[in-house]
Structures are given as C-alpha cells and as structure tokens.
Amino acid sequence: MNDHHIDINPLLLNVDKAILYGVIKHELCHYHLHLEGKGYRHADQDFKKLLQAVGGLRYTPRLQQPKFHYQCIVCQQDYFRIRCLDVRKYACGKCAGRLKLAKDY
C-alpha cells in the first residue's frame, strides 16, 4: 500500500478476462479506500460495500488444478492437494485417521 502499486498474480493473465477484471476491481477497491483513510481490509464493511457496488470479485478462483488426491482410511474424507504430502506425518482433520494416496494425476 505504501508504494501505491497494485500487484496481480501473473497466472491471472491466462484466465478469462471477466475474472481478471474482477480481480483488478478488487485491488482498486483496496487502493481507493486506503487513500481515503477508510477500511480497506477484507473484513472491513467499507471494503465489502464498495466491492459489491463495483462488481469486483471477493475471492480469486483456484488457478492450479490439484495433482494429488488423498483419502482418509477411516471416514473416506477426500483431500485434494497441489503438492505431495507425507502420509506418515499428516492425519485426517475430521477423525484423525490415517491418509492414503487415492489418485496421482
């Protein structure tokens, strides 16, 4: 905010233009509210109202597709991850059961 530059992920240049415009509107809302001294953070009501008024995106859509599919052995809860994880180190967040690699894309 202090240097008055807007940062946009370069991966957004390869997606639909409507998504890119929504993200640009989102960042401009941050910028405008910061300059006015109003609430510019995501949780602030000023930000939420302005973002809705201009039609900006609240969240950026997922830019990368998950490459790994893990599943809990006990409750069959699914977990999709972009990076590989060590199943000996992590457990299910729902029931604390062990995880197994269900599919590697």
Q: Looking at the domain assignment, is residue 60 inside a domain?
A: no
Q: If pLDDT is split at 50, 70 and 90, which confidence band does 63 have?
A: confident
Q: Looking at the domain assignment, is residue 62 inside a domain?
A: no
CB neighbour list of residue 12: distance below 8 Å, 6 or more residues apart: 19, 20, 23, 60, 63
Q: Looking at the domain assignment, is residue 43 inside a domain?
A: yes
Higher pLDDT, 46 or 3: 46
Tokens coding 87: 């199943």
**Range(s) of the domain holding residue 29:** 10-54
Buried residues in 27-53 as b, exposed as e (16+ CB within 10 A): eebbeebbeeeebbeeeeeebeebbee
How many distinct structural domains can be found in the chain?
2
Q: Looking at the domain assignment, is residue 50 inside a domain?
A: yes
Identify the pLDDT of residue 12.
87
Catalytic residue flag (residue 27): yes
Q: Do 39 and 74 share a domain, yes or no?
A: no
Identify the pLDDT of residue 13.
86
Q: Which of 27, 34, 57, 68 is catalytic?
A: 27
Q: If pLDDT is split at 50, 70 and 90, which confidence band does 40 have?
A: very high
